[in-house]
Amino acid sequence: MCFSLEWFENLLIWLVVICVVVALLRLLLAFIVPKLGVGAEIINFITKAITIVIWGLILIAAIIFIFGLISCFAGSVHFPGRAHAVLPYLSMVA
């Protein structure tokens, strides 16, 4: 299943979904926060805090993707040393 056409299709769909969600959250944030009637300093703080949370979610998705790639490569690459004892556990994760 690794690097098949279906895998690339799912990857592209997830990338589009993540981009759309980030864009919608930024648009919604720019629309709602000024209507709350708070000062510009608080609006700036809230905007930066939500941006940090969004980037955190993007990084978590990237980490999941990277470890998915590692699990794809783990079955096809020979690791020297004691790594052969770890490979069965990596295949259970995928």
Q: Half-sphere exposure of residue 78, counting CA atoms within 13 Å on the CB side?
A: 1
pLDDT of residue 70: 80
pLDDT of residue 67: 81
Tens digit of pLDDT per residue, the chain (94 long)?
Answer: 666 778 778 878 888 888 888 888 888 877 887 787 777 777 778 778 878 888 888 888 788 778 877 877 776 655 555 445 545 554 554 4
Residue 15 token pair: 């990338």
What 3-state DSSP class applies to 86? coil
The pTM for the full model equals: 0.53
Q: Half-sphere exposure of residue 61, counting CA atoms within 13 Å on the CB side?
A: 15
Q: Domain locations in the chain?
A: 5-93
